[in-house]
Amino acid sequence: MIKKRFVLNFPPQSGDKPLSYNLVKDYDIRINILKAEVYPGKRGSLLLEMQGKKENIEKGVKYLTDQQVICEPLDKRIHFQEDKCIDCGNCTAVCFAGALTMNKNTWKLEFDKNKCVVCELCIPACPLHLFEIDFR
């Protein structure tokens, strides 16, 4: 069993298909919708956590791709310029998901991208503007 977060971008025509239902039914994947933005007839974006057997998740991702849905692991959509980080901690103040935390020994920033819920509060909270999230 693995658990992984994906960003799904739906083309306009796919909005009427019960894709997440099929992921559950056909591929035995436990899904958790963490964030959704749906603009009927235009586009839709979903942050989806999938839990299941590795091969089932791979098949599920292939199924989504076959339906013209762009499906990418969340960590590929988060861009953080770590080399420029000064470990000030401002981003940890707003990260209620616990993805951004300070290591209590080194006081350096730690970023567990798989805990991110794409609330996007870190983007303006970082005084050096080191975060970008490609969700839409």
Query: What is the contact surface with another protein in residues (CB under 8 A)?
Result: 86-90, 92-94, 96, 102, 104, 106-108, 121, 124-125, 127-129
Between 2 and 86, CB nearer to another protein: 86
Least separation in angstroms between CB 16 and another protein: 36
Least separation in angstroms between CB 121 and another protein: 7
Closest C-alpha among 6, 136, 132, 11 to residue 58: 6
Between 2 and 128, CB nearer to another protein: 128
Cα pseudo-dihedral 109, 112, 116, 120, rounded to 10: 30
Q: Strand ranges (DSSP E) for 24-63?
A: 30-39, 43-52
Least separation in angstroms between CB 45 and another protein: 23
Between 4 and 35, CB nearer to another protein: 35
Measured CA distances, 25 to 20, 28, 94 (Å): 9, 6, 36
